[in-house]
Amino acid sequence: MRAVRGLLAMGMAAFFLNLAQAGIPIQHWTQPGGARVWLVESPAIPMVDVQIDFDAGARRDPAHQAGLASVTAAMVSKGVAARGGDPALDENQLGEAWADLGASFGAGAGNDRLSYSLRSLSYPDLLERAAALAARQLAEPSFPEAIWQRERERIAASIREANTRPATLTGRAFVQAVYGSHPYGYEMTEETLARITLADMRAQQARLILPCRARVSIVGALNRQQADALVSRLLGRLPAGDAAACAPMPAVGEVAPLQASAERRIPFDSAQAHVLIGQPGYKRDDPDYFALLVGNYTLGGGGFVSRLTQEVREKRGLSYSVYSYFAPGLHAGAFTIGLQTRPDQAAQALKVSRDVLAAYVAEGPTPEELKAAKDNLIGGFALRLDSNRKLLDNVANIAWYDLPLDYLDTWTKQVERVSAADIRAAFKRKLQPERMVTVVVGGAP
């Protein structure tokens, strides 16, 4: 069996490598009910992965109920209601049903979207049963009161425990300073959790989880006709929604740029000081995306070859790890530099990191740095697609952000054409080193 698994894994890896090199045809269509579908046929193994995304993430949470999207997603797996002759299933029965099918279905929420994911073998009889169960779980979660009381206590205990960790305090202070009153800065607390009721979850579900609002991404051993039938099955138990229910949702305001620098130091008795530096970055549809992707690899995203690592860790030994990244979404996600260091070295580590950032924004990468970044990103592109799950993640991002259908086919060309001047100009447009938020947690009061 182990040998068979090894051969299967080798075959899958070879298939996805060939797929990445040969091009990835993505089919796209809209169903009569409004659901939009993206499909990549992947016949190498008899499996299908599906992701269904709705604009029901944390950015749609009311401020006084931060966390509503995430707890709603968590409660989806706690049981399904009896309906249409189908019996109710509690969380144990639901788990056993999925185990019997050798399939899985779950939900999760991020800043922008609430996502449901199905994985099943694609044999017709098995996939039909998995789709039927997933459709019930998607449309008819029971939201049991007793389970919610248990889960609320568990989540509250987790929040209290997290509040004892310096990383939690650092992250909270950072997002609040970067995002201000924008929903990206909302954080679930014991107070906001206590205000969330099952009625709120049901109302959110009824308002936002509709076929006309679904973006469905599929990778697997299905053709277009089979994929379309699968989507209809998955969404078939949801209410269709009238014109008013399917109308465009209210716009969410944009993240406000910082007007001045801000620094917050929080005393905490810990061996390491936790440091975050940053500001609002850019939206995912920004034309500077590839210049910022390549540039950040050189600045702090490339591990040991990045400037921050060379200057902060290798030359001065101020931190074991230092990194930078952008987190673009439907709104301007944060640009972040992060590190941990001894409290007595925090000031020096901060200065070095700020100096590296300011120099990089002003000068951009050297020719050697640019070549190394491109070689790594292009050389590692196939690893971004070497499984159904990774390919599905990429297709779902194309679907969510309305990227071109040939986005993956042209990805390496987009990276290759980035110049040092492109990076320098993009970083100057997006980052203002003199207007950064700095949070340091650690050191004696």
Give residue 256's identity as a one-letter amino acid code.
A
Q: 223 with 268, same domain?
A: no
59 lies in the same domain as 145: yes
pLDDT per position as a tens digit, 84-130: 889 999 999 999 999 999 999 999 999 999 999 999 999 999 999 99
User: What does the pLDDT read at residue 166?
Assistant: 95
Whether 16 is covered by a domain: the verdict is no
Residues 229, 270, single domain; the answer is: no
How large is the average pLDDT for residues 392-414?
Answer: 97
Q: How far is 356 from 361, CA to CA, in rounded Å?
A: 9
- 23-80 pLDDT, tens digit per residue, is 899 999 999 999 999 999 999 999 999 999 999 999 999 999 999 999 999 999 999 9
Q: Is the pLDDT of residue 18 over 70?
A: no
Residue 11 placed within a domain: no
Helices 420-430/367-379 angle, 10° precision: 90
The answer, yes or no, to whether residue 132 has pLDDT greater than 70, is: yes
Give the helix ranges, DSSP H, for 279-345.
289-296, 307-308
When the pLDDT of each residue in the chain is averaged and rounded to a whole number, the result is 94
Helices (H), 180-222: 190-194, 198-208
On the CB side of 276, CA atoms within 13 Å amount to 24
More confident site: 315 or 19: 315
Enumerate residues 6+ apart whose C-beta is below 8 A from 444.
Answer: 267, 269, 343
422 and 356 both lie in a single domain: yes
Give the rounded percent of residues in the chain with a pLDDT score beyond 90. Answer: 91
pLDDT at 14 over 70: no
Specify the CATH number for the domain of residue 360.
3.30.830.10
255 or 5: whose pLDDT is higher? 255
Taking the C-alpha atoms of residue 191 and residue 195, their distance in angstroms, rounded to an integer, is 7
363 phi, psi to nearest 5 deg: -110, -25
20: helix, coil or strand?
A: helix
Tell me: do 202 and 274 sit in the same domain.
no
Say if CB 122 and CB 46 are below 8 A apart: yes
Domain total of the chain: 2
Q: How far is CA 269 from the centre of its chain?
A: 32
80: left (phi over 0), alpha (psi -120 to 50) or beta: beta
Give residue 1's pLDDT: 39
User: Hey, what are 361's tokens?
Assistant: 């924004």
8 Å CB contact between 436 and 376: no
147, 213: one domain = yes
Asked if the structure places residue 248 within a domain, the reply is no
Residues 366 and 401 in one domain: yes
Q: How far apart are CA 29 and CA 215, in angstroms?
A: 10
| Full domain range(s) for residue 185 | 24-235
Strand, coil or helix: 224 = helix
Cα dist. 218→12, 30, 211, 369 in Å? 17, 14, 16, 37
* pLDDT score of 11 more than 60: no
- Length of the chain as a residue count: 445
Q: Indicate the DSSP class of residue 284.
A: T
Same domain, 301 and 419: yes
Tell me which H or E stretch contains 375: helix 367-379
pLDDT of amino acid 21: 52
> Are 222 and 307 found together in one domain?
no
- Please report whether residue 343 resides in a domain: yes
On whether residue 7 sits in a domain, the answer given is no
Which of 220, 235, 250 finishes a domain? Answer: 235
Q: CA nearest 115: which of 209, 252, 228?
A: 209
Residue 205 CA to residue 221 CA, distance in Å, equals 30
Let me know whether 350 and 409 are in one domain.
yes
Check whether residue 414 and residue 290 sit in a common domain.
yes
Does 14 reside within a domain? no
User: Per residue in 242-296, pLDDT tens?
Assistant: 899 999 999 999 999 999 999 999 999 989 999 999 999 999 999 999 999 999 9
pLDDT, mean of residues 170-189: 97
Packing angle, helices 198-208 and 68-75, rounded to 10: 90
* Domain membership flag for residue 206: yes
Residue 16 in this model has a pLDDT that exceeds 60:
no
Residue 8 has pLDDT above 60, yes or no: no
How far, in whole angstroms, is CA 411 from its chain's centroid?
19
What is the per-residue pLDDT for 116?
A: 98
108 phi and psi angles, rounded to 5 deg: -155, 155
pLDDT confidence of residue 19: 54
pLDDT for 22 beyond 70 = no
Q: Above pLDDT 70, what percent of the chain? A: 95
Would you state the pLDDT for residue 303?
A: 87
Query: What's the confidence (pLDDT) of residue 357?
Result: 98
> Is pLDDT at 436 greater than 60 in this prediction?
yes
Q: Is residue 7 scored above 80 in pLDDT?
A: no
pLDDT digits (tens, 9 = 90+) for 321-376: 999 999 999 999 999 999 999 999 999 999 999 999 999 999 999 999 999 999 99
Q: How many CB atoms are closer than 10 A to CB 206?
A: 13
Are residues 41 and 182 part of one domain?
Answer: yes
- Within-domain flag for 167: yes
The secondary structure of 316-336, three-state, reads CCCCCCEEEEECCCCCCCEEE
